[in-house]
Amino acid sequence: MRDNGCTQPLLFRFDGRMWVKLDNTAAAVHAASVTDAFEHLLSCFFVLNVQYPQELWLVYGFLERVLGLKASVTKSMRLSEFHQEVMCVQ
């Protein structure tokens, strides 16, 4: 995804390792779990002062809540209801 000419950070798995792609550079993520890898991804948005893509705004807001991070995405009823439903499925 592109935003003002800057490619958004993304997380992917290749050759058994997790990677964060920033612009056109991939950096290996040394994470013990997928959860840790997502925390690294969310940290990239914060450190680089990049906003979440509009299309994935609710997804990243949900990940912030699930990972117990300080929410940068304001709560909405849809996000809160979705979070409650997912947590009850367990």
Number of domains in the chain: 1
Confidence of residue 89 (pLDDT cuts 50, 70, 90): low
Q: Give the tens place of pLDDT for each residue, 22-79.
A: 877 888 998 888 888 988 888 888 888 888 887 888 888 888 888 887 777 666 656 6
**pTM of this structure:** 0.63
Which domain covers residue 72, as residue numbers?
2-89
Residue 48's pLDDT is 82
Residue 3 in contact with residue 51, Cβ under 8 Å? yes
- Token readout for 40 is 């690294």
Q: Give the tens place of pLDDT for each residue, 73-84.
A: 666 656 666 667
Cα three-residue angle 14-18-41, rounded to 5 degrees: 130
